[in-house]
Amino acid sequence: MKTIELFSPAKINLFLHINAQREDGYHELQTVFRALDFGDTLTFRQKSGTQLVNLLGADNVGNMADNLITKAVNVLAKQFPAYASPVEIVLDKVIPMGAGLGGGSSNCAMTLIAINELWGLHLGVNELIKIASTLGADVPFFVFAHLHKTDAVAVGIGDKLSPIDLPHQDYLLLMPKVAVSTAKLFTHPHLVKNTPIIDDINGQIERFLDNLHAPFHNAFEHIVMAAAPIKQALDYLRTLQAQTNATARLTGTGSTVFLPLRYTLNDHQIQYIIKHAPCRAVKASSLFGV
C-alpha cells in the first residue's frame, strides 16, 4: 500500500486587512502569508476495509465530524466517487488550535494534495485551490505555497493568490493558551471592514516586512488584545523591538503574536528570551525565502 508523508506548515500574516463584507456574508481581505518551518506532520496510507477515513492522532482537535482533514477527504470522495478508497491518516500535531497559525487549514490542504496523489485524481493547482476555497479561507494558501514553493499575497476571500519573493527570515512566536473564535471576531462591532485595497504590494515590502508602517496593520489586533494573556505576550515582544528594529504583531485571527528577527539576536539571547516569556515561545524560520 502506498504511503505519503507531508510536512504541514504553520503560517503567519505579515498584515491582515478587511476590505469589505459581501452580501453572502463572506469578507474580502488582503494579506501576505508566510509559511514557516514550524508545523505538523501528516502520514497517509491506503488501507483495506469499508471505513473511508481512519484519522489517528487527532484526539485533541475537536469534533471529528468537523475536522478539516476528514472534510477534505469527504469532499473529494463526493466529487470523485469512482476513485475513492479507504485511507488511514496519522497526524503528528504541533501547531496549537485557535492560535492564528492556520494549523487546521494547513492539515486540510495537505490532505487535498495527498489524496489527489493517492487516488490518482490528477487535479491541477487551480482545481485544488477551487476545492480548497470551499473548506476555509486559509486553505488555498497552503495548497498554493506547497505546490509553488512560495509565500503569497492573498485577496478576495483568500482564494486569489499571487507569489511574493521575501527574504529568508527568523521569527519569535509567542503562543498564549487562548483559543480565539474567528467567527466571533468577524462579527465584532469594532472590526474595521472598509480598508482600501493597496496596490503594488511587491513594491512596498519594506513597509510591512520587519516593521509595520501605516496603512499596514492587522485589523483584529486591537480586538484580540482585550484578552489579557495575548496583551501580556505582545507587550513582552514589544520590549524587544528596539533590539531587533522590528514590529511585534498579531498573526491572523488567533492568539499568536510574533516578532521578526531579521536583525538576528545570538542564540544565547534568544534562549534567554524564550525562557522568560510569559507563555510558550518558539523560534521559527520562513519555509521559503530568497
Instruction: In whole angstroms, give the CA distance from residue 285 to residue 243.
Output: 19
Class assignment of domain 170-285? alpha beta
Instruction: In whole angstroms, give the CA distance from residue 289 to residue 66.
Output: 34
List 11, 71, 93, 283, catalytic entry: 11
Instruction: In whole angstroms, give the CA distance from residue 131 to residue 137.
Output: 11
Instruction: Compute the radius of gyration of the chain from its Cα atoms.
Output: 19
pLDDT tens per residue across span 232-284: 999 999 999 999 999 999 999 989 999 999 777 889 999 999 999 999 999 99
The closest of 110, 111, 97 to 63, measured between CA atoms, is: 97
Grid coordinates given for 48: 483495506
Instruction: Tell me if residue 138 is catalytic.
Output: yes
pLDDT tens per residue across span 44-97: 999 988 899 999 987 655 556 679 999 999 999 999 999 999 999 999 999 998
Which residue ranges make up each domain of the chain? 3-164, 170-285
List 40, 71, 138, 170, catalytic entry: 138
* 174 alpha-carbon distance from chain centroid: 15
Q: What pLDDT, on a 0 to 100 scale, did the predictor assign at position 247?
A: 97
- The stretch 11-20 carries a mean pLDDT of 95
Instruction: Tell me if residue 11 is catalytic.
Output: yes
pLDDT tops 90 at residue 192: no
The closest of 259, 6, 26, 9 to 152, measured between CA atoms, is: 9
Which CATH number describes the domain made up of 3-164?
A: 3.30.230.10
Q: What's the pLDDT band for 189 if we cut at 50, 70, 90?
A: confident
Residue partners of 267: CB distance under 8 A and separation at least 6? none
Instruction: In whole angstroms, give the CA distance from residue 153 to residue 282.
Output: 25
Lowest model confidence (mean pLDDT) among 15-19, 99-103, 261-265: 261-265
